[in-house]
């Protein structure tokens, strides 16, 4: 296995930020991963997956291990369901397309999410009314201190909205190596209730959608709002949608009667952070080579050559402003490195 020195990480992060890794290696098997993790020269390596949910604000002065474990396989079939395992280095969207080509249903709403399979359980990826947890069976992860593979079933992952044990209690202890999902072989349970999907299907004149139609609708919606990282650097939603109490919502409604909100429990609602950021005047704002996306205020963008620090400072300015206007604390969804 080759360890490169002074490697540019620009092609490895969807924000397109220039940062240099002092050492860099790509692993294609669990054995290679285990070998690298036992090298005494690099006691605290940096694990890099698809690089789609991080903002690099500095160079990385240790070994960067890029997880490139490949493969998708059917592990079990029942009359109605199929269990499919995808290895961590597979591109998530290619995995979704693989499932659709085989007519396996369950992940079509998660089309076009950037990043790799290995990152999916860490933040329980979600879009258009579906989260990974809805199809998740288990994942395998390399235990860094015990140097062996461990299996985590659904319950053990403690999934929440963009949350899991891998981001919280067990942060930094495991490296996801594969994910197994349960999908339907026919009789698919389509989830098209999410407003935009229904409207998109109707616009396409589709009354009885297939999973491919739903996937195509999701792709069209995402392409209309979210910048393609190949063209404009970004990491999707930069912030999480905040959850506030109904009492606070009632209070805010006095000044902002049109504030959108979605019930999450009898006492709490979720507010679209994109709306707050737009209302605060940041939508489409550009500061030389970075800014807030024109079509979706929740996405910060690098127009080319921006520094991670500048984008981080913009995010702090947005957080302060939102707190001042709405008394709401925005949590960052993207990992700041
Ligand atoms: N909105 C605005 N202005 C904006 C953006 C949004 O007013 O500039 C308001 C509108 O009221 C709109 C509502 O926000 O109806 C919701 O917007 P959208 O449907 O675009 O969804 P979102 O809440 O902004 C979330 C996820 C996305 C996911 C979409 C679709 C989070 C943090 N983000 O965005 O996930 O694709 O729903 O399900 O939950 C990601 O995690 O990187 C990501 C892109």
Query: What CATH number is attached to the domain comprising 172?
Result: 3.30.465.10
For the question of residue 237 being annotated catalytic, the response is yes
pTM: 0.93
> Do β-strands 46-48 and 148-153 pair in parallel, antiparallel, or remain unpaired?
unpaired
Do 205 and 167 fall into the same domain?
yes
Q: How far is the CA of 237 from the centre of ligand 1 (A)?
A: 8
Do 178 and 277 fall into the same domain?
no
| Residue bearing the CA closest to ligand 1, atom 10 | 275
Do 76 and 218 fall into the same domain?
yes
pLDDT tens digits, one per residue of 17-73? 999 999 999 999 999 999 999 999 998 999 999 999 999 999 999 999 999 999 999
- Cα separations in angstroms, 152 against 128, 143, 181: 26, 11, 12
Query: What is the CB < 6 Å shell around ligand 1?
Result: 127-128, 225, 236-237, 240-241, 260, 272, 274-275, 278, 283, 296-298, 333
pLDDT interval class at 213 (50, 70, 90):
very high
Which of 225, 242, 264 lies at the terminal end of a domain, its last residue? 225
Which of 171, 204, 225 lies at the terminal end of a domain, its last residue? 225
Choose which residue among 108, 120, 127, 243 to substitute to test ligand 1 binding: the one with the highest number of ligand atoms within 8 A of its C-beta: 127
Do 219 and 76 fall into the same domain?
yes
Reference 145, options 24, 63, 37, 28; nearest CA is 37
For the question of residue 333 being annotated catalytic, the response is yes
Using the atom order of ligand 1, give the atom closest to the CA of residue 195: 19
Do 89 and 107 fall into the same domain?
yes
Which of 67, 83, 101 lies at the terminal end of a domain, its last residue? 67
Do 61 and 77 fall into the same domain?
no
Do 97 and 176 fall into the same domain?
yes
Do 180 and 140 fall into the same domain?
yes
User: Which single residue is written with the structure tokens 């280095």?
Assistant: 89
pLDDT tens digits, one per residue of 146-203? 999 999 999 999 999 999 999 999 999 999 999 999 999 989 999 998 878 999 999 9
Query: What CATH number is attached to the domain comprising 255?
Result: 3.90.78.10
Do 252 and 321 fall into the same domain?
yes
pLDDT tens digits, one per residue of 87-130? 999 999 999 999 999 999 999 999 999 999 999 999 999 999 99
Q: Which domain, by its residues, includes 262?
A: 233-336
Query: What CATH number is attached to the domain comprising 21?
Result: 3.30.43.10
Distance CA 279, CA 52 (A): 27
Per annotation, catalytic residue among 90, 131, 140, 333: 333
Do 80 and 156 fall into the same domain?
yes
- Cα separations in angstroms, 1 against 30, 31, 65: 12, 11, 11
């Amino acid at each position: 296995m080759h360890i490169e020195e002074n490697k540019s990480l620009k092609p490895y992060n969807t924000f397109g930020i220039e940062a240099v890794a002092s050492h860099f290696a790509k692993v294609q098997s669990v054995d290679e991963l285990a070998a690298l993790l036992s090298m005494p020269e690099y006691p605290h390596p940096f694990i890099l997956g698809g690089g789609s949910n991080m903002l690099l604000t500095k160079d990385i002065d240790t070994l960067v291990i890029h997880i490139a474990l490949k493969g998708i396989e059917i592990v079990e079939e029942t009359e109605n369901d199929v269990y499919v395992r995808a290895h961590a280095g597979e591109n998530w969207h290619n995995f979704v397309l693989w499932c659709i080509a085989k007519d396996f249903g369950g992940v079509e709403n998660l089309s076009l999410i950037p990043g790799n399979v290995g990152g999916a359980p860490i933040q329980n990826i979600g879009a258009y009314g579906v989260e990974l947890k809805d199809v998740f069976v288990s994942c395998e992860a390399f235990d860094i201190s015990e140097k062996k593979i461990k299996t985590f079933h659904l319950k053990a992952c403690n999934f929440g909205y963009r949350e899991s044990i891998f981001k919280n209690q067990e942060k930094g202890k495991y490296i996801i190596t594969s994910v197994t999902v349960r999908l339907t072989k026919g009789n698919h349970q389509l989830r098209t209730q999410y407003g935009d999907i229904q409207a998109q299907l109707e616009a396409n004149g589709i009354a009885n959608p297939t999973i491919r139609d739903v996937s195509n609708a999701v792709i069209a919606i995402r392409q209309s709002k979210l910048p393609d990282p190949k063209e404009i650097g970004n990491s999707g939603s930069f912030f999480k949608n905040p959850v506030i109490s109904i009492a606070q919502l009632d209070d805010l409604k006095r000044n902002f009667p049109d504030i959108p909100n979605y019930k999450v429990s009898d006492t709490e609602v979720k507010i679209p952070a994109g709306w707050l950021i737009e209302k605060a005047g940041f939508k489409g704002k550009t500061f030389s080579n970075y800014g807030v996306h024109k079509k979706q205020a929740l996405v910060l963008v690098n127009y080319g050559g921006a520094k991670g620090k500048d984008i981080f400072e913009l995010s702090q300015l947005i957080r302060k402003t939102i707190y001042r206007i709405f008394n709401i604390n925005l949590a960052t969804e993207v990992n700041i490195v």
